[in-house]
Amino acid sequence: MAGRKFLTISLLMLNLLSLLPLLTVSFSPDHPTDRRILVLLDDLALKSSHSIFFTSLQFRGFDLDFKLADDPSIAVKRYGQYLYDGLILFSPSTDRFGGSLDLEGVLDFVDSGHDLILAADVSASDLIRSVAAECGVDFDEDPSAMVIDHTGYSVSQIEGDHTLIAADDFVQSDVILGSTKIEAPVLFKGTGHSLNPGNSLALKVLSASSSAYAANPASKLSNPPSLTGTAVSLVSVVQARNNARIIISGSLDLFSNRLFRSAVQKVGSSYKYEKSGNEQFVTELSKWVFHERGHLKAVNLKHNKVEGTEEPSMYRINDDLEFSVEIFEWAGSSWVPYVADDVQVQFYMMSPYVLKTLSTNQKGLYHTSFKVPDAYGVFQFKVEYQRLGYTSLSLSKQIPVRPFRHNEYERFITTAFPYYGASFSMMAGFFIFSIVYLYNK
Amino acid sequence: MLIKDQTSEVDVHLGDADRIFRSIKALSQSDGRWRYSSNNPESSTYAAGIALETVAGLISLASSEIDHSLVATIKNDIMKLFDGVERYDDGACYFDEKFVDAHGHQDPLSASSSVVRGITAFATATEESLNLPGDKIMGLAKFFLGVEIPGSAKDLYHQIDALACLGNSRVSVPLILSLPATVLSVSRKDQLKVRVNTVLGSSAPPLSVKLMQIFSSGSKDASVIDQELKFDPDHAVHVLETLPKNIDVGKYIFSFEISLQDPEHKKRYITGGRTKVPIYITGLIEVNNAEIAVLDSDIGSIEMQKKLDLSGENDVALLANHLQKLRLSFQLTTPSGKAFKPHQAFLKLRHESGVEHIFVVGDSGKKFEIILDFLGLVEKFFYLSGKYDIQLTVGDFVMENSFLRSLGHVELDLPDAPEKAARPPPQLVDSYSRYGPKAEIIHIFRSPEKRPPRELSLAFLGFVLLPFIGFFAGLLYLRVNLKNLPRSTVPATFAFLFHLGIASVLLLYALFWFKLDLFTTLKALGILGIFLMFVGHRTLSHLASVSAKLKSA
């Protein structure tokens, strides 16, 4: 009896121990795609009305944890460790989050490198608007304003106020929106926002057309609205310097099953698309925001003299050197070589002395060779790579550069021949003189 | 304790049906809900639905044994349940769950549908009529119809099962009025069509639909119409042949009423009173008399005036300075001839650097006009002179031909900015240029110092060697001779070695210059120097003794 008990206990311990490695398979620098995502909803009916979006995420391997926004058991952090890798806020009208989450908590979550999808809507609460404002996106001051476009709306038999917009002004980026072009326009119904022109981290993914404006459809306009034209952004993304990615959308309906499945006909065009571009747009954007695409890492930064193979500790001016670096891109489950023709290296001391584009061997290895400048000091090899939609790469390696030693200069100079001639003729003259003077009578 | 018995055909004799009934009844709560079991103290609406279905099953199996007073108490419970129904703003009603059990939320869809199933089964089983409030049944029907796309197969089952129960049950059947199109175009002469069906789309009993009132949005008054719609049996729609006379383009709310022709049907069907439907009447708006002009500010005389054709693109070129005004005017008329006020009428001026200014074009009764007085706008324009593109956008919900037209450009000449004027806001940098690769930098090496040409150096070498040659010439001129060379062997050898030593030291110097370093040179020099000293001493002492002998002799 005791033996059996012992056996069962040991089996149990063994099982528990074998689970330990699984606990470490989550977000880590070697495996950048997020795994566990917290979804906060206003209303549980969103779980079924947006089910196509959620099931597509679960199908790609994400662990979604649905909670009501004012659920008191919400916690993203416990004992200093984050419990989730990503956050989806589909709760535009929530004034306060439940549990231990608040505006500071959401911003800390993003600051620590985690991703966020935020959907606002008409009459969004101040909490949601301030989260967006901290991320660099300014929603319209009037909360009841919707984006109206009288020349870009979607033709419909049952909706007469032109607030359901068929937008097709996408950002040109294969990383963010995928390599297949989105043919059908994307249906959008909600508020618009604008980006501060000085913000270099935010980007408009879907902009409104030039005749769009944000106003309350029921009221007359006496002053021009603050958001008009192509400055109105419908969906924006922000990529922070620590590579956290944020999507901010002015419409919750953009993600809903109803708009995924609707047919679209933009006013003024006679072609009716059977299915709107929403599903493709949202799927590609979610792949980008959860780091399944566009996440780069650079390893093996090497330099050496042209003749040698190991890294010297110091270079001399006018030396010829070779430089190489390997760049990989995360493709959802493994690292694949990244191929591009615009990676550049700088040889930098206070300002770049040499800036060269690296040539690639199409397998992720980038190399080049150049001559060390004739300024001496402590230089850095710098690779700073920032492209639209990709994570930013910033690597540097320090190397000193010394001037010529005394014996590395030119040995014999033609200009000095008169001086050589003077010395030697002096020596010869002395020899002849010593003979002649001693034996002359 | 929950027994689901679906076998209504089989004549099952349930002993103790009364006891089972009472035990189920014991689980009911005062607000009409039921508990799942005696162990679980929380109540659930979903459980209420299941309990009602079970009771209905019990009654159908063993109706004779059930006490009718208990049936009456069940009816009271149902009434209490309906008192707790929740409403959305648009009239839809649903039952909500108040607690979370271990399985997560039981969402309103499944809770409401289980209640509907329970009530329908109960009503069918007891064959008594339940006086349920008609508007709540209508609200429940609206709720189930409002679930547009169910999220899972389970949700779809709940929705369709509940609608089917509502559709053909002994509880009152709601009739739904729907319009396939609420946006009608006057220009295309669309007709207003109305459909009346039961919840799952089956046809309604004979009835007539009347358009009772028309409210125009924005104003409180309503015109009373009371016009009956014609029934088209082929398509099963009711059609309004012609719109009432004074309806122009705009946003309206039409109020319909269904009246059943058979009085018997009034008990079975719920019509829902007056149904209000928002309707948009759209049409093509004519734009006439569009013109743009530059006026002199004080006098008001016209400097330059151009007519515009707003159905196509225009490209006018105007010149203005800060003392003048710009005037744009046009007229808008609806298809029935009245003046029209669109929701959006913007004039946008865009500077070549990207700074934009937007103005709302106001209307003065008959026509739309905007006058831009540049004198007052100089500060707003940040004192930027140059080419401004003009764009006019006019649009409205009921305007089928909303347009955005570029009208041309105006060259504005504004005075220079004073020092304290505001700077124009920074413009959005094109993100594609921000992210592109930077220009390559190739280090320009310091060019080596300029050296004189080779020939010049060689020429100077020649000049330097000239004195040497001159020295030789001088020696010859002085008729030097080597008569004093010692004849005898020993002094001659020493003299020879002496001069050899001097030559070797000079050679050592030359070698040191070529490749030796100082250490080896000094070593060799030391050796040679000692040798040279010995040899030189012998030679020079011999020479000195020879000359002393000569002097003394």
- What tens digit of pLDDT does each residue of A214-239 get? 988 888 888 888 888 888 999 999 99
Confidence of residue B104 (pLDDT cuts 50, 70, 90): very low
Under 8 Å CB pairs connecting chains A and B tally to 215
Question: Given this model, what pLDDT does residue B121 score?
Answer: 74
Q: Do residue B40 and residue B185 come from a single domain?
A: no
pLDDT higher for A203 or B366? A203
pLDDT computed for residue A400 by the predictor: 94
Query: Which of the residue ranges A346-360, B238-252, B535-549 would you say has the lowest mean pLDDT?
Result: B238-252
| Mean of the per-residue pLDDT values of chain B | 76
Q: Please name the residues in contact with B219: beta carbons below 8 A apart, sequence gap of 6 or more.
A: none
CB contact under 8 A, A374 and B445: yes
Determine, yes or no, domain membership for B460: no
What is the per-residue pLDDT for B64? 60
- Considering the domain boundaries, does residue B437 fall inside one? no
Helix H or strand E segment including A63: strand A63-68
Closest residue of B to A356, CA-based?
B440
Nearest Cα of chain B lies from the Cα of A388 at a distance, in angstroms, of 6
Q: Are residues B494 and B407 in the same domain?
A: no
pLDDT at A378 over 90: yes
B295 in the same domain as B261: no
Q: Bigger pLDDT: B336 or A399?
A: A399
Min mean pLDDT across A191-200, A257-266, A381-390, B157-166 is at B157-166
Instruction: Indicate if the alpha-carbon torsion angle A49, A52, A53, A59 is positive or negative.
Output: positive
| B435 and A CB contact within 8 Å | yes
Strand partners, A102: none
CATH number at residue B346: 2.60.40
The nearest alpha carbon in chain A to B397 belongs to A161
Contacts of A224 (CB under 8 A, 6+ apart): B346, B358, B359, B360
Which of chain A's residues have a Cβ under 8 Å away from the Cβ of B144? Answer: none
Average pLDDT over residues A146-172: 85
Q: How confident is the model at residue B23 (pLDDT cuts 50, 70, 90)?
A: low
Share of chain A above pLDDT 90, in %: 44
pLDDT of residue A26: 45
Last residue of a domain, one of B259, B282, B305: B282
Flag whether B451 is in a domain.
no
Same domain, B245 and B377: no
Contact A380, A397 (CB under 8 A): yes
Indicate whether B226 and B145 sit together in one domain: no
Does residue B537 fall inside a structural domain? yes
- The domain that holds B273 is classified in CATH as 2.60.40.1080
Instruction: Provide the number of structural domains found in chain B.
Output: 4
Domain ranges, residue B503: 479-552
Q: Residue B173: which residues within 8 A CB-CB, separation 6 or more?
A: B166, B167, B198, B199, B268, B269, B270
Instruction: Answer whether A342 touches B (CB < 8 Å).
Output: yes
- Range with lowest mean pLDDT among A422-431, B37-46, B180-189: B37-46
Q: B172 is written with which tokens? A: 């009152």
Contact B251 A158 (CB under 8 A): no
| pLDDT attached to residue B527 | 93
State which of B152, B173, B194 marks the end of a domain. Answer: B173
Residue B306 lies in a domain: yes
* Residue B443 with chain A: CB contacts under 8 Å: 347, 353-354, 371, 373-374
From chain B residues 232-261, the ones with a CB under 8 A of any chain A CB are 251
Q: Does residue B213 surpass a pLDDT of 80?
A: no
pLDDT attached to residue B259: 79
At A49 the pLDDT is 86
Q: What is chain A's mean pLDDT, rounded?
A: 87
- B246 and B300 within one domain: no
Chain B interface includes A157 (CB < 8 A): yes
Do residues B186 and B281 make contact, with C-beta atoms less than 8 angstroms apart?
Answer: yes
Residue with tokens 């099931």: A55
Q: Are residues B73 and B212 in the same domain?
A: no
Contact across the interface for A373 and B443, Cβ inside 8 Å: yes
Q: Supply φ then ψ for residue B207, to 5 degrees.
A: -155, 170
Residues B50 and B113 in one domain: yes
Residue among A211, A371, A415 whose CB faces B393 most closely = A211
Chain B residues with CB-CB distance to A160 below 8 A: 182-183, 251, 278-280, 282, 397-398
CA–CA gap between residue B407 and residue B390 (Å, rounded): 5
Instruction: Name chain B contacts of A265, Cβ cutoff 8 Å.
Output: none
Same domain (yes/no): B485, B361: no
Q: Which of residues 269-328 of A touch B (CB under 8 A)?
A: 318
Nearest to A431 among B348, B465, B503 (CB): B503
A49 to B148: CB separation less than 8 angstroms, yes or no: yes
Taking CA–CA distances from B192, the nearest residue in chain A reads A157
Pairing of strands A86-90, A36-41: parallel
pLDDT at A254: 92
Enter the ipTM. 0.71
According to the per-residue pLDDT averaged within each range, which of B166-175, B304-313, B340-349 is highest? Answer: B340-349
pLDDT at A129 over 70: yes
Q: Is the pLDDT of residue A19 over 90?
A: no
List, in sequence order, every residue forming a beta bridge with B216; answer none if it has no partner.
B252
Q: Is A178 left (phi over 0), alpha (psi -120 to 50) or beta?
A: left
pLDDT at A326 > cutoff 90: yes
Mean pLDDT of A11-40: 65
Cβ-contact B162, B258 below 8 angstroms? no
Which residues does B55 contact at the CB level (< 8 Å), separation at least 6? B21, B24, B74, B122, B125
Interface of B with A in 182-221 (CB under 8 A): 182-183, 217
Do B250 and B393 sit in the same domain of this protein? Answer: no
Q: Is A217's CB within 8 Å of B465's CB?
A: no
Q: How far is B345 from chain A (nearest CA, A)?
A: 9
Q: Does the CB of B531 have a partner CB in chain A at under 8 Å?
A: no
Using alpha carbons, list the distances in angstroms from residue B483 to A441, B237, B404, B478. 6, 151, 120, 14
The residue ranking higher by pLDDT, A94 or B106, is: A94
Please answer yes or no on whether A45 and B344 come within 8 Å at the CB atom.
no
Contact A160 B443 (CB under 8 A): no
List C-alpha distances in Å: B13 to B22, B51, B68: 17, 20, 19
Tell me if B344 and A150 make a contact (CB, 8 A cut-off).
yes
Q: What is the pLDDT of residue A438?
A: 85
| Nearest residue of B to residue A220, measured between CA atoms | B343
As a whole number of angstroms, the distance between CA B164 and CA B175 comes to 13
Q: What counts of helices (H) and strands (E) characterise chain A?
A: 9, 26
Residue linked to tokens 């108490």: B73
| pLDDT score at B11 | 40
Residue B455 lies in a domain: no
Cβ–Cβ < 8 Å for A146, A207: no
Tell me how far the alpha carbon of residue B104 is from its chain's centroid: 33
- B401-425: average pLDDT: 81
A271: pLDDT strictly greater than 80 = yes
Interface check for A268 against chain B (CB to CB < 8 A): the answer is no
Q: Which of A48, A151, A159 sits opposite B402 (nearest CB)?
A: A151
Task: Please report which confidence band the pLDDT of residue B246 belongs to, taking 50, 70 and 90 as the band edges.
Answer: low
Per-residue pLDDT, averaged over B243-247, amounts to 69
CA distance B382 to B359: 16
Q: Which of B365, B388, B418 is the last residue of a domain?
A: B418
Higher pLDDT, B29 or A333: A333
Same domain, B263 and B125: no
- pLDDT at A72 > cutoff 50: yes
Q: Is residue B309 domain-shared with residue B206, that is, in the same domain?
A: no
The per-residue pLDDT for B459 is 92
Decide if B124 is inside a domain. Answer: yes
CB atoms under 10 Å from CB of A258, counted, come to 14
Residue B444 placed within a domain:
no
Q: Which two tokens stand for residue A413?
A: 């100079």
Q: Is the pLDDT of residue B158 over 60?
A: yes
